[in-house]
Amino acid sequence: MNILINDVAQKGTNFTGNSSNVITTELKKLFTGTSFSFNIPASDVNCVGLANTDATSITVQVVEGTNIYNKTFTINDNVALYYFDAKYANIDTVSVTLNSGTYLGKLAIGEYRNIKIYKSKEPEYISNVENIEAPDGSLYEQTGGITKRVINCEFKAKIREDQYSDYENLKTKIPKKMPFFIHFIDEASTFYGITYFYAKDDNPIVFQGSFNRMIYSKKYRFVECF
């Protein structure tokens, strides 16, 4: 899978545009308007995570010194992680333009990592709705709520330095169950056609290692986000 772990947008500054972190009835609207920009610490960038938008396409511009790179992504509701044409180094400015749209709910940017995972079980479904049980044992279904998909998988391999540093750079965010943008690029058939995921990891970030073999194990439980 390709996963964007170190979302450098989390460290963005000098934001220009309209944004809101307040939970309202319009949960999808984080960035409103047609364009915005922000600065990030000089970083390598090769992908962007985009979700929850009414735009038909989104143009993302990244800048390093006098070098300017633009890419327009056609929005697909079933896609969460989008790729630039190359990896760009030392990017420090990001500009986003919504084409035929007025809001963008989720945004992440950085360098994805490819991690080989193994399926531990088939996708499951969970809901935050609890039915009411009457004294006679009858169940009354409640309205509303959200049903989410869950994917359980396991990673067994040597942890590369770049992967570990990504976790280290976001050590204050990941334990708070910050969502990840994921592309099951090698495992789509294993997960019955599920290719992209915007999800949080319900498991603590713990690596269990064998020092003599340099093999590590990490179990993931990705819970779908919206």
Instruction: Identify whether the C-beta of residue 66 lies closer than 8 Å to the C-beta of residue 140.
Output: no
Per-residue pLDDT of the chain (226 residues; tens, 9 = 90+): 898 988 888 888 888 877 665 444 444 557 888 999 999 999 999 999 998 889 999 999 999 989 999 999 999 877 889 999 999 999 999 999 999 998 888 889 999 988 888 766 678 888 877 778 888 888 887 777 778 888 888 777 666 778 778 877 777 766 666 788 988 887 766 666 677 787 878 766 655 555 555 556 677 888 887 7
Nearest to 141 by CA among 150, 153, 133, 149: 133
123 CB-near residues (< 8 Å, 6+ apart): 149, 150, 151, 191, 192, 194
pTM over 0.85: no
Neighbour tally for 71: CB within 10 Å: 15
| β-pairing verdict for 196-201 and 208-210 | unpaired
pLDDT at residue number 74: 95
Residue intervals in the chain for CATH 2.60.120.260: 2-114
pLDDT at residue number 127: 81
pLDDT at residue number 160: 74
pLDDT at residue number 27: 47
Report the CATH architecture of 2-114. Answer: Sandwich (2.60)
Strand, coil or helix: 109: strand
